[in-house]
Amino acid sequence: MNSKIINNSKKVFCIKISKLIQNKYKFLQKRSVANLINDFKKYAKENNIEIVIPSLQAIYYLINSHKLIDFKIFPIKKTITGLKRKKRMAKRSRITFAKSIEERPEYINNRSEFGHYEIDTVILNKRSKYCYLTLLERKSRKLFIKVIQRNSDSMANGLKTIIKENKLKIKSITMDNGSENVKLNTIDKKIDIYVCHPYCSFEKGSIENCHKFIRQFISKGIKRK
């Protein structure tokens, strides 16, 4: 439907149904848009009114975009599901406890010392509640993987489990600024934590490279059984 041009038949429909609702249904408390349209069809048929009745989605469009039907005349506004709603953006948790990767010492950068790790997750699919926690030791390139739920508590608990089961002595962790990492500072205060710059996954390139190999066996979109 053109946003600038509305044909006369739709205008006539809007006028007729607005009058009908205001007169007949103004005291009713349980009416939905769909029910009102069905009643209007019966009313038009019983009274031999020749009128073009738009589709339900077209009516929602008229309410939302052109204001030809007063939104206030519908007693139950929550039942109007066809209107576009503004998406609420989730508040991203800020990681304030980590040091910038720019402060990471050179002996970590050049992999001369054992005990410095990179951490990340591999998403199975967007709808899945689970993901793979991946932890990689920078010098040896040894990789640890654990299935966890996609939240910060599960991320922290998963890392604790990996450390305990493998008796790891972690000196530092390099991570991104994802919200799943906001509780990693609760594991051990002695561990130095470094965070990459936003949208710079190459700054933890070792673990990102491992993810490419993981994807050869576990493609994105797979469902976990």
Q: Say if residue 138's pLDDT is above 80.
A: yes
Q: Is residue 88 assigned to a domain?
A: no
Q: Is residue 202 assigned to a domain?
A: yes
212 lies in the same domain as 104: yes
63 lies in the same domain as 107: no
Q: Is residue 90 assigned to a domain?
A: no
Q: Say if residue 40's pLDDT is above 80.
A: no
- Cα–Cα dist 72/69, whole Å: 9
4 band by pLDDT with thresholds 50, 70 and 90: very low
Over residues 132-153, mean pLDDT: 96
Q: Is residue 183 assigned to a domain?
A: yes
198 lies in the same domain as 118: yes
Quote the domain boundaries for residue 142. 99-217
- Domain-ending residue, one of 35, 56, 73: 73
Are 191 and 173 in contact by the 8 Å Cβ rule? The answer is: yes
Q: Say if residue 97's pLDDT is above 80.
A: yes
What is the tally of structural domains in the chain?
2
Are 6 and 66 in contact by the 8 Å Cβ rule? The answer is: yes
Q: Is residue 129 assigned to a domain?
A: yes
